[in-house]
Amino acid sequence: MADRKASVSRDTLETQITVSINLDGKGEGKFETGVPFLDHMMGQIARHTYMLLDEALSRVVIDLSGRPNMEYYVR
């Protein structure tokens, strides 16, 4: 079975973001947002997220930009 890992980096004029995920990991996370409370909350999500069950839907919205609204459509 292939490893279920991915990593994405994005650099803009305002931010430099790198996100890596290992779906077969141990629920450990490392976060360096510069905001201690956000680091703590992201760690809680990494540790305590439950496996999705059949016919379950999960959505997460995290506002990192502070902008009031953004709509992005991908085809």
Task: Supply the pLDDT for residue 71.
Answer: 74
| Ranges of each domain in the chain | 1-75
Say which residue the tokens 């201690």 belong to: 36
pLDDT tens sequence across 18-43: 888 888 877 778 888 888 998 888 88
- The token pair at 74 is 């991908």
Look at phi and psi of residue 66 and say left if phi exceeds 0, alpha if psi is from -120 to 50, else beta.
left
27 close to 44: Cβ distance less than 8 angstroms: no
- Give CA angle at 15 (5, 20), nearest 5°: 10
If you average pLDDT over residues 66-70, what whole number do you get?
A: 70
pTM (2 d.p.): 0.47
Return the higher-pLDDT residue of 57 and 54. Answer: 57
Q: What CATH number is given for 1-75 in this structure?
A: 3.30.230
